[in-house]
Structure 1
Amino acid sequence: MMHGFQGKYFTRVAQLLMVLGLCACSQQEIKDSGPSRPLDFSGSPDAIPKQENRTRAGNKSPYVIFGKTYRVLSDSRGFRQQGEASWYGKKFHGRNTSNGEVYDMYAMTAAHKTLPIPSYVRVTNHSNGRSVVVRVNDRGPFHGNRIIDLSYAAASKLGFAERGTAPVSVEAIDTGNPPLRHAGVVHPGTAEPTQEIVRAPSPSSGNRNAHLGKQSYLQVAAFSQRQSAEQLLARLRSSISEPMRLNQAKGLFRVHIGPLTKVNDIAAVRKTLQALSLGSGFVVNE
Structure 2
Amino acid sequence: MKSWWSVLCAGLLLAGCASDGGNRTLKDAADDGASAGSGGGRYAMSSDAYPQQPPDVSRVPDAVPRPEPRSRAGNKSRYEVWGKTYHVMSDASGYERRGTASWYGKKFHGYATSNGEIYDMYKMSAAHRTLPLPTYARVTNLDNGRSVIVRVNDRGPFHSEREIDLSYAAASRLDILDRGTGRVRVEAINPEAWQARQKGQPTPPSTAEPDPVAQDSGRDAAEPVYLQVAALGSADNAEALKERLEGALSRPVRIASAAGLYRVQVGPLKHADQIDPVRGQLSRVGFGQAFVVNGAD
Name the TM-score, length of structure 1 as normaliser.
0.53
Deviation at 1:35, TM superposition (A): 1.5
Partner of 2:116: 100
Aligned Cα RMSD in Å?
Answer: 2.4
Distance in 2 separating the partners of 1:39 and 1:26:
21
Matched, 1:76 2:92: yes
Match of 1:224 among 175, 196, 208: 196
| Unmatched tracts of structure 1, length 5 or more | 1-21, 178-221, 229-286
Matched, 1:169 2:141: no
Describe how 1:1-286 pairs up with structure 2 within 5 A: 30-176=46-192, 223-224=195-196
Flag the 1:89–1:59 CA change in 2: closer, same or farther, 3 A.
same
Q: Deviations over 1:11-69 (max 9, x none)?
A: xxxxxxxxxxx8xx678753211211233222211000000000110000111111111
Partner of 2:236: none
Structure of greater Rg: 1
Amino acid of the residue matched to residue 132 of structure 2? P
| Unmatched tracts of structure 2, length 5 or more | 1-12, 20-44, 201-297
* 2:102–2:182 contact (8 Å) kept in structure 1: yes
Flag the 1:223–1:174 CA change in 2: closer, same or farther, 3 A.
closer
SS at match of 1:95: coil
Flag the 1:125–1:114 CA change in 2: closer, same or farther, 3 A.
same
SS at match of 1:150: strand
Amino acid of the residue matched to residue 131 of structure 1? S
Flag the 1:26–1:35 CA change in 2: closer, same or farther, 3 A.
closer
Distance in 2 separating the partners of 1:223 and 1:134:
15
Distance in 2 separating the partners of 1:27 and 1:130:
27
Distance in 1 separating the partners of 2:18 and 2:149:
32
| Aligned residue-pair number | 162
Distance in 2 separating the partners of 1:159 and 1:64:
32
Moved over 3 A (4+): 25-29, 222-228
Distance in 1 separating the partners of 2:90 and 2:135:
11
Distance in 1 separating the partners of 2:18 and 2:173:
26
Flag the 1:104–1:127 CA change in 2: closer, same or farther, 3 A.
same
Percent identity, aligned pairs only, is 58
Flag the 1:168–1:43 CA change in 2: closer, same or farther, 3 A.
same
Distance in 1 separating the partners of 2:196 and 2:173:
27
* 2:18–2:48 contact (8 Å) kept in structure 1: no
Q: Deviations over 1:209-232 (max 9, x none)?
A: xxxxxxxxxxxxx9436769xxxx
* 2:110–2:118 contact (8 Å) kept in structure 1: yes
SS at match of 1:224: helix
Name the TM-score, length of structure 2 as normaliser.
0.51
